[in-house]
Structure 1
Amino acid sequence: MVIKEWKHVFKLDPERAISDEALERLCLSGTDAIMVGGSTGITYDNTVDILSRVRRYEVPCVQEISAIEAVVPGFDLYFIPAVLNTDDARWMTGMHHTALRRYGSFMEWDKLIPEGYVILNDECTAAQLTGSSAPADAKDLTAYALMVDRLYRMPVFYVEYSGVFGNMEWVAQAKSALQHTRLFYGGGIRTAEQAKAAAAAADTIVVGNIIYENLEQALTTIQTKPFPNVAAQFV
């Protein structure tokens, strides 16, 4: 499975209800993947439930892990976030160490995708949970991008605005610094126009909350494929 070809991902929160009809439309929409994850209320049971329902379709399904007890076998890939803009080591290495101590001997290493994760909305649940502080400016964000790309050599740099549509100029500048890493952008994408703007600045866009607010509008974000790469206009 080649994530570098992904342009669009729908993200489902196991804690939030979604009908079978809505799920079918998402899975057959042409999105490149379904990501399952969230900040709170994530359990083994609700994660198993959403995975079993998505598995009726051929779309790739990946889990972004935020709780060790909610890790479920059967996903195509597992995204492992390390929150870079927090001083709380639990979110950078602590829980990762705990997970490897418990399960390291039987992990499927080729399915693990480490991601350098930066949260840019101080008011969101993820920021409150992790104690992260948003970058002060585009140079701050770009420094994190370089950290992920050149220092840690992670395959994914995830820029998370979580419910708020972010500064695409910052995102584009961060992306322009990357040589090996793919930039995923998530946060506040609610319209096709916002999807186009985000896709011009990032490699892959992640669409989440609007699924539960307005399904028809969420589906319009897929109409922006294929996305042009015009990040240079911002730098």
Structure 2
Amino acid sequence: MTGLIGQWRHVFKLDPDRELSDEALEKVCTSGTDAILVGGSSGVTYDNTVDLMSRIRRFAVPCVLEISTDEALVPGFDLYFIPIVLNTDQGEWICGRHQEALREAGAHLEWDRIAAEGYVILNEDSTAAKLTGARAPATLKDLTAYARMADRLFSLPIFYVEYSGTFGNMEWVRQTRNVLQRSRLFYGGGIDGPDKAREAAQAAHTIVVGNAVYENLSQALATVDAVRKL
């Protein structure tokens, strides 16, 4: 299953702490997206994660849990993404919480279903940045240094550029992708319709569409075809 990540171009991200009707969820899951990523920066619990997973499981689409808290580590997902925030000096978001989780569950994990994400958060006003103490790279050179760290030093399968609610600098994203040799560049942030989806998909390997699902569903669904036609 982890090999499929290299083929993904479009992913929807759903937040267990946000409401989504059954009708809307069906449209998202049958849209032709490559996968559904489940995760959020706050309010994620075991119960709301189980509930969302069980609803997604009615459809034939890969379902991935991005683990933001070990309290919401729910069995039954196809894959598990473990974010490692590279641009923070708070060790708990780099390896601290990860070590705690593995101390309890490491012996029981199916490692072929787990992939680490090297995260760089570029919107310092976002909930994710405030939670993790992330400091946005000041220059493109700083960003590409993180990319090389993820790609060559740590051999992470995913390098995730997260603008979290704002649409980022696509030239930076494009040039960052070009320095990667093995890692796949995921981009998320501010993709609110097909135009930005096309622009982001031309810069990154994989785009992640999240807030638009809750704010303008028709525009969010249109991002799938926009990427497919490239």
Per the TM alignment, residue 225 of structure 1 is displaced from its structure 2 partner at its CA by 2.9
Question: After TM superposition, where is structure 1 displaced by more than 4 Å over at least 4 residues in a row?
Answer: none
Query: Structure 1 residue 8 and structure 2 residue 10: aligned?
Result: yes
| 1:13-52 alignment, distance < 5 Å | 13-52=15-54
Residue 183 of structure 2 is matched in structure 1 by 181
In structure 2, the residue corresponding to 1:25 is in which secondary structure?
helix
1:131-178 alpha-carbon deviations (Å, 9 max, x no partner) = 010000111110000000010000000000000000001101110000
Structure 2: 5+ residue stretches without partners? none
C-alpha distance in structure 1 between counterparts of 2:225 and 2:113, whole Å: 29
Residue 221 of structure 2 is matched in structure 1 by 219
1:95-154 alpha-carbon deviations (Å, 9 max, x no partner) = 000001000110111111001000000000000000010000111110000000010000
Q: What is the one-letter code of the residue matched to 1:40?
A: S
Structure 1 residues 114 and 55: CA distance shift in structure 2, 3 A: same
In structure 1, the residue corresponding to 2:12 is in which secondary structure?
strand
Contact residue 168 and residue 197 of structure 1 kept, 8 A: yes
C-alpha distance in structure 1 between counterparts of 2:213 and 2:133, whole Å: 27
Contact residue 200 and residue 227 of structure 1 kept, 8 A: no
1:195-216 alpha-carbon deviations (Å, 9 max, x no partner) = 0000000000000001001100
Per the TM alignment, residue 191 of structure 1 is displaced from its structure 2 partner at its CA by 1.3
- Please, which of 53, 56, 64 is the counterpart of residue 54 of structure 1? 56
Residue 106 of structure 2 is matched in structure 1 by 104
TM-score if structure 1 supplies the norm length?
0.96
C-alpha distance in structure 2 between counterparts of 1:99 and 1:227, whole Å: 41
C-alpha distance in structure 1 between counterparts of 2:18 and 2:169, whole Å: 27
Structure 1: 5+ residue stretches without partners? 229-235
| 1:84-103 alignment, distance < 5 Å | 84-103=86-105
Q: What is the one-letter code of the residue matched to 1:214?
A: N
C-alpha distance in structure 2 between counterparts of 1:157 and 1:225, whole Å: 20
Contact residue 185 and residue 205 of structure 1 kept, 8 A: yes
In structure 1, the residue corresponding to 2:228 is in which secondary structure?
coil
C-alpha distance in structure 2 between counterparts of 1:99 and 1:125, whole Å: 22
TM-score if structure 2 supplies the norm length?
0.98
Residue 69 of structure 2 is matched in structure 1 by 67
Query: Structure 1 residue 158 and structure 2 residue 139: aligned?
Result: no
C-alpha distance in structure 2 between counterparts of 1:203 and 1:227, whole Å: 15
- Please, which of 131, 149, 152 is the counterpart of residue 151 of structure 2? 149
- Please, which of 120, 123, 133 is the counterpart of residue 122 of structure 2? 120
In structure 2, the residue corresponding to 1:225 is in which secondary structure?
helix
Per the TM alignment, residue 223 of structure 1 is displaced from its structure 2 partner at its CA by 1.1
Identical aligned residues as a percent: 64
Contact residue 84 and residue 117 of structure 2 kept, 8 A: yes
Once superposed, what is the RMSD of the aligned Cα atoms? 0.7
Query: Structure 1 residue 78 and structure 2 residue 102: aligned?
Result: no
